Amino acid sequence: MNFSNLIKIAYEAIMRNKTRSLLTMLGVIIGISSVIAMVSLGQSSTQNINQEISSMGTNLIMVMRANQRRGGVSMGNSNSQTLTIKDCEAIKKRCKNVDLVSPSVSTSGQLVRGNENWPSTLQGGNTDFLKIRKYDIARGTMFTEKDIKEYKKVCLVGETIIENLFADGSDPIGQEIRIGSTPFKIIGVLESKGENQMGQDQDDIVIAPYSTIMKRLLATQYIHMIYCSALNEDLCDIAVEEIEAVLRTNHRLQDDAENDFNVRTQKEMLTMMNSVTGFLTILLAAIASISLFVGGIGIMNIMYVTVTERTKEIGLRTAIGARGKDIMYQFLLESSMLSLVGGLIGIIFGLLISYLATKLLGWPFIISTASVFLSFIVCAATGIFFGWYPAKKAANLDPITALRYE
């Protein structure tokens, strides 16, 4: 008995029961397509988040003020006054793996222009701020060192501000807006960046010299954050160590004292996000696998019923010269064909679902070759595993009893 004959026999047996074969396959189709879709969607969302975070700069390092104790009283993270311009200068000067440094202060307030007003965030930085935070200037210019030194009331505005304050379509550059009672002159417009992965509008921002904000709006000598960029992504960890060392010296912290600042990198954010999405992907895939398992049991059930129903056929085949293993291979092949064809359709379906979903969500569409490959193997294994017992049963039927079976 050669293999092509066997395939022909199994194929004909499947085609004799089209509806039943299709329904049997449906279990596998749903199982496989959900596994593929879930894994693919999970990876797409991971990729999506990665892209968003990378768009903020993967070499970004944020130094934030942390809890400070004054005479035994904890000041909390957001009220502590630990970071100063001197820290910025020290980092700039002494950290070899740090490229750019910018202090950051921010305040929120109501922007006013004529009859229009809009609440927004006023962000203070130095001349490197845009480069570190990956903002680009669409029109106009950035403020200069001279502007910073002279506490000039100039600013750059994001797309959202223009939409709300300059709805009349007039050119914002050169015009004045008030923040609280302080007038600022717009010298540049930022390129739109859209929303970040947290859903925050990154275009709803006004950027001004940090010195102006510190002196004229906040009346403080302390800064809120320091943005740094490492020379490249791989040097982030070394850069963080350098920054910590410099700041500890600057702040005269004892060896056993806790840092009064926190250093965060985008890489950490990335790892954290990935661990969350990775867990979700595994969870979804596990749930989907259950449906695949149920599909496999469906195949086994049908094959089992089939053996009983086709007892006479098995008897006949034995009588005309089929060996036990011929019968077994036939049934194994039938179940394998069902699961493989079902799997193939399932893979196509799954990819289609994830393609449509990613299109709809605006995520990148990722075909996970590993999951496609794996589900194909699972399919073959399902067919053989769940087909084995019924096939064995068929092969062991006594031909005489099988022939007389009614």
Partner 1 sequence: MSVIIKIDNLKRYFQVGSETVRALKGVSFEINQGEFVSIMGTSGSGKSTMLNILGCLDKPTDGEYFIDGIAVSKLNKDELAHVRNRKIGFVFQSYNLLPRTSAVEQVELPLLYNKEISSKERRERAFLALEQVGLKDRMWHMPNQMSGGQQQRVAIARAIVNDPVILLADEATGNLDTRTSYEIMSLFQKLHSEGKSIVFVTHEPDIAVFTNRTIMLRDGRVVKDVPVDTQSAKEALDALPPSEDYN
SS3 assignment, position 260 = coil
Residue ranges in 12-41 that form contacts with partner 1 under rule CB under 8 A: 12, 16-17
Residue 13 vs 111, nearer CB to partner 1? 13
Rounded Cα–Cα distance for residues 239 and 263 (Å): 10
DSSP 269: H
How many residues are there in the chain?
Answer: 406
Rounded Cα–Cα distance for residues 10 and 340 (Å): 13
In angstroms, what is the minimal distance from the CB of 316 to partner 1? 5
Q: Does 65 bind partner 1 (CB under 8 A)?
A: no
In angstroms, what is the minimal distance from the CB of 398 to partner 1? 9
Q: How many CB atoms lie within 10 A of CB 357?
A: 16
Which DSSP string do the residues of 17-60 spell out, in sequence order? THHHHHHHHHHHHHHHHHHHHHHHHHHHHHHHHHHHHHHT-TTE
Phi then psi for residue 254, to 5 deg, are -65, 160
Residues contacting partner 1: total by CB under 8 A: 25
Type of residue at 101 = V
Residue 9 vs 340, nearer CB to partner 1? 9
Which of 64, 238, 269, 403 contacts partner 1 by CB under 8 A? 403
In angstroms, what is the minimal distance from the CB of 8 to partner 1? 7
Q: Which two tokens stand for residue 201?
A: 């509008």
> Contact 294/26 with Cβ under 8 angstroms?
no
Rounded Cα–Cα distance for residues 328 and 17 (Å): 19
**Would strands 154-157 and 182-190 be described as parallel, antiparallel, or unpaired?**
parallel
Residue 12 vs 241, nearer CB to partner 1? 12
Residue 230 vs 397, nearer CB to partner 1? 397
Residue 24 vs 265, nearer CB to partner 1? 24
Which of 9, 61, 142, 243 contacts partner 1 by CB under 8 A? 9
> What is the number of H-type helices and E-type strands within the chain?
13, 12
Which of 5, 141, 249, 308 contacts partner 1 by CB under 8 A? 5
In angstroms, what is the minimal distance from the CB of 32 to partner 1? 28
In angstroms, what is the minimal distance from the CB of 325 to partner 1? 8
In angstroms, what is the minimal distance from the CB of 319 to partner 1? 5
How many Cα atoms are found within 13 Å in the side-chain-facing hemisphere of 171? 7
In angstroms, what is the minimal distance from the CB of 313 to partner 1? 6
Q: Which stretch binds partner 1 (CB under 8 A): 7-15, 32-40, 63-71, 354-362?
A: 7-15
Residue 306 vs 354, nearer CB to partner 1? 306
How many Cα atoms are found within 13 Å in the side-chain-facing hemisphere of 335? 32
The C-alpha angle with vertex 258 and arms to 254 and 261, in degrees rounded to 5, equals 110
In angstroms, what is the minimal distance from the CB of 22 to partner 1? 15
> Contact 82/222 with Cβ under 8 angstroms?
yes
Residues 6+ apart with CB under 8 A from 396: 324
Residue 198 vs 320, nearer CB to partner 1? 320
Residue ranges in 311-330 that form contacts with partner 1 under rule CB under 8 A: 312-313, 315-326
Q: Does 57 bind partner 1 (CB under 8 A)?
A: no
Q: Which stretch binds partner 1 (CB under 8 A): 2-10, 74-82, 92-100, 195-203?
A: 2-10
Q: Does 2 bind partner 1 (CB under 8 A)?
A: yes
In angstroms, what is the minimal distance from the CB of 326 to partner 1? 6
If phi > 0 it is left, if psi is from -120 to 50 it is alpha, else beta; for residue 140 that is left
Residue 5 vs 196, nearer CB to partner 1? 5
Query: For binding to partner 1 (CB under 8 A), which residues are involved?
Result: 1-2, 5, 8-9, 12, 16-17, 312-313, 315-326, 399-400, 403
